[in-house]
Amino acid sequence: MSVERARSMVMEPGAAGAAPVTRRREEALCQTSYRPMQQQQPASLLTLLIILGFSLTLVAVFFISQRPVSDHLGFVITVFVALGVFVLLFLLVCVEPLFQRCHAVFSLLVWGFLITMAFVFAFTGGPVQPWEQVAFFLFITIIVYTLLPLCLKSAVIGGVVTSLAHIVVFSIYVPVTNHSEDHLELQLLSNAVVFICANLVGVYHKTLTERALQNTCRDGLNFSQSRGKLVSEKKQQEHLLLSVLPAYIALEMKAEIIKRLKDKQPDLEYSNNFHNLYVKQHKHVSILYADIVGFTQLASMCSPKELVLMLNELFGKFDQIAKENECLRIKILGDCYYCVSGLPVSLPSHAKNCVKMGLDMCHSITQLREATGVNIDMRVGVHSGNVLCGVIGLQKWQYDVWSKDVTLANHMESGGLPGRVHITEATYTHLDGEYEVEEGEGETRDSYLTGLKTYLVIDPRVSAPVNGDVLSPLPPEGVKQRASVRMARYLESWGAVKPFAHLSHRESMELDTPPDITAVEIPMNNLNQHRTTDRARSQKPEEMNEPIESVHSYKHWVKSGEMNPITLYFKDWSMEKEFRWAPLPDFHLYMACSVLIFIAVFIIQMFISYKNTALGISYGVSFFIFLLLLFTCFAGHLTRWTQKGPRFVQWIPSISAAVIKQPLVRVPVQVITILLILIMALLNFFFLPEPVSTNSNYLYTVPYYLYCCLLSMLSCSIFLRMNFELKLTLLTLALVVYEVIFLYSYGYRSDHYVSELYTNSSRPGVLKEPKVMAGIWLFVFFFTVLVLARQDEFYSRLDFLWKRKFGQEREEIETMENLNQVLLENVLPAHVATQFIGQNRRNEDLYSQSYECVCVMFASIPDFKVFYSESDVNNEGLECIRLLNEIIADFDELLSKPKFSGVEKIKTICSTYMAATGLNTVSGNNEDTDRSYAHVGIMLEFAIALMGKLDYINKHSFNDFKLRIGINHGPVIAGVIGAQKPQYDIWGNSVNVASRMDSTGVLGKIQVTEDTADILQSLGYSCSLRGVIKVKGKGDLQTYFVEMDAGKTAIQLP
């Protein structure tokens, strides 16, 4: 299968069972992509260099030894033709695109020419012996498995065909042509053992290497996907954070949250006695308050869906107007909307922006009223001055502003007129005569404005000012639709963006461009929760394949600066140390394959070597050592039996664990194993009978001891995760010792054997003389195993680097996911968040929910308004806000208690704390009365706990604040509105009455309505009658105070 085919598979459309399909796509991509990621080009170039060096060495030895060309014409022609072919192949391989397309043809050509050379060398230059060219065929078999760009199946075919070619040809040809050869059968069997061992070692190396490469490729895919997920998570948390806060505060809070998450201390937020304060002072701003007049009556006639839709459309339109006029929406309070111009960047036109926005809002509402005939209007108040802005508390962050100027702007709204923009003199002075105004007479409608000169702005788009005391007439009699229906339908034409739009859309696979963290406002219409399947489908296959191919490239990592290009060491020493101390779970496989080589050497020597006492003793001792080493490595597999045995054997599996995990134990085991194989390959060569004219039967063993040495050198390549420098040391030591023994110390045995084979004056071929064979093939295998060691070292480090980077990515993703969770919980209640995230739903509708029984609490600190002052002593009011932050944060900490898990904080309004219970229950359950109203008692317990907390704060801050609390229960409507800053809120008459219970209450008391008092009394709480009080908009209500002398409601405070 081609890479292009795999890529097309990745682009298949999704269907049922998307996860298995995606997994198959990933597997297909791995299967077809990991081969180009093997260091094929560098490995192939090095293979060709070894072959070229080998060919040049043959030419040099041939001419230096002054062999006649006429006697070895086939050898000379073959070598020079091979040199030309391999030089041409080397040049072609240097062209990487050509090599990637034709690597199979390249492998076939190399294999074919090497086989041809081996047979030519065997059948020219002298009589054919059964041991001839075994080293050459062994070399071809090894490179087919390890260095040529072939898959496992092709490599097995190539290796087996190579081995069978030698075995079959020589088994047929030698017995026919050489009748006097001693021990012919044993030599042919020894050849077979050599090739069987070579193929098994090759399959072992190829299997482990391919498995590691496929795992690394899979890690690469995961890394690519996790990187995409990380980008997605970062976008999500930025969208989430920026949906609540302006960027300049969001950055600071985000850094603090990430720090807490990485420190694994999400709850232990602070190391000192104070909570962090994210509040800053801004001067020269304008504050706008706007209230929809007549909306409360309209809302009472709406269904939950209609109410949320109307509010979202209205406030979505207002957000759009705010953006056009460079205003920053602060908060939505019921049907009240307020914003500031001049934040976070100071604007000289802040007053003009707010006035223009107020006029645009009134104009939009006028159009709405004229189109629908619904009796609503807009009352706007604007004031210019200074503010403290930021976030207080620990939960349900909402950006807010505080100052006396903010309070004045609020009263400018309440003292204004419907359809008009009411401004102070401070704002008027900043208008520079751009708008015409008339006397506002605000003090006649709000006593707080007494002594202040106010103005009403004349909208240049209106020919005559609207009489603000009179709302528009009722709709014509012909209109039969309810006002809420008419208004909802008209508002839909405005097309306000829905909160968290496309949050769960499966088609929306990618987020838009990452939000600019420096921007003031980021719409929330692109927040997306990706799943792994979606991410896999959303990424183009080229994008998935490109990073994998690049990261497996040697050049990539050299350029990245992670590794030294020469030593491959990590430049970060801590990373290098971590790599060297990393455990090796496959170490027992390394040992098993090394034993295979040892057994092959033993069998070969049993076939061809002289049987003496030294042979028996040496192998007896070495077998015992190998059994100990194998037991050490495989002891971990005996756990099932040792656990059932006596206690003194239960420690045995820990031996294997120590070898796997401890380099100080593992490295000596590796060195001992390799040295033992290297020694046993040649040890009994010293005990062969000396060649004399009457006893030279064992001289044919000289080439086979060479083959044993070549096999033993392969044992260094068995340990894939062994340090390169250690392999180099052992190989160099083996090369020097072997060369000295074969060429000098015992070179006379080769000379004696050659003199017996070639009794006339003719000279044998270059590779028909055992001594020359040893000198050449030992060097060829030395460099071949070094190339393998280098390649294995690279892959080992690459695999480690991938796993390390993937682990870091995963940690960062987990941090981002936790951050998103924290942020989301501060935007929406948990039960509401599940409606938007993690569900396969088309989020076409706004979230709205009606509840039959919700208990609402407003807890205010009226004394704080008196306490609050702005002077140099308290940093223009900042220290007062710091104390308020401590109070609200301590209140928020109560929410983490299991007892109050059902309490949902809604918002804070200046120094007023709003919470509710009963929002996380499903309405309509047929529960008994006590149980269905239990949350009302929890709300009361929470209110009493707030009073206790405030008393505790008073004690330590030397203040005397008192809470004034109002509680009411009844039906409410909950929903999420606002595209720019999605906000969860609750509406309804029950909420308004709870607010009035607070505003008409008494310090230090909890005031409740009569119905709520009845429920509390049924739950065992005591209430005392206060009497009938006048409540704005509700008339006369009979209220009660909760008696707080019962020990039942006491809580333990710090």
Q: Which of the residues 540, 611, 865, 1032 is marked catalytic?
A: 1032
Q: How far is Cα 76 from Cα 70, in angstroms, rounded to an integer? A: 9
Distance CA 689, CA 710 (A): 23
Give me the catalytic one of 227, 996, 1005, 1026.
996
Task: Give 100's strand partners.
Answer: none
Backbone angles phi, psi at 963, to 5 degrees: -85, 145
- The verdict on whether 259 is a catalytic residue reads no
Cis peptide before 344 (omega within 30 of 0): yes
Task: Determine the Cα–Cα distance for residues 1047 and 157; give it in Å rounded to an integer.
Answer: 87
Q: What residues have CB less than 8 Å from 657, skipping those under 6 apart?
A: 636
Q: H or E stretch including 477?
A: none
Q: Residue 904 in contact with residue 917, Cβ under 8 Å?
A: yes
φ, ψ dihedrals at 517, nearest 5°: -65, -15
Backbone angles phi, psi at 851, to 5 degrees: -125, 140
Q: Answer yes or no: 1032 catalytic.
A: yes
DSSP 918-947: STTS-TT----HHHHTHHHHHHHHHHHHHH
Cβ pair 222, 806 in contact under 8 A: yes
Which 8-state DSSP code applies to residue 11?
Answer: T
Is 385 in contact with 287 (CB distance < 8 Å)?
A: yes
Distances in Å between the Cα of 564 and the Cα atoms of 395, 560, 561, 786 are 49, 10, 7, 18
Residues 327, 288 contacting (CB under 8 angstroms): yes
CA angle 572, 573, 579 (to 5 degrees): 95
Q: Which helix (H) or strand (E) holds 16?
A: none
Cα 555 to Cα 575: distance, rounded to the nearest angstrom? 20
CA-closest candidate to residue 1037, choices 1045, 1047, 1027: 1027
C-alpha closest to that of 420 among 373, 382, 368, 473: 382
CA distance to 38, 405, 507, 545, 1028, per residue, from 102 (Å):
15, 78, 40, 20, 95
Neighbours of 141 (CB within 10 A): 25
3-state SS string over 235-247?
HHHHHHHHHHCCH
DSSP assignment of 801-870, as one string? HHHHHHHHHHHHHHHHHHHHHHHHHTTS-HHHHTTTSS------SPPEEEEEEEEEEEEE-THHHHH---
- Please give the Cα distance from 239 to 54 (Å, whole number): 64
Q: How far apart are CA 107 and CA 337, in angstroms?
A: 75
User: What amino acid positions are annotated as catalytic residues?
Assistant: 996, 1032
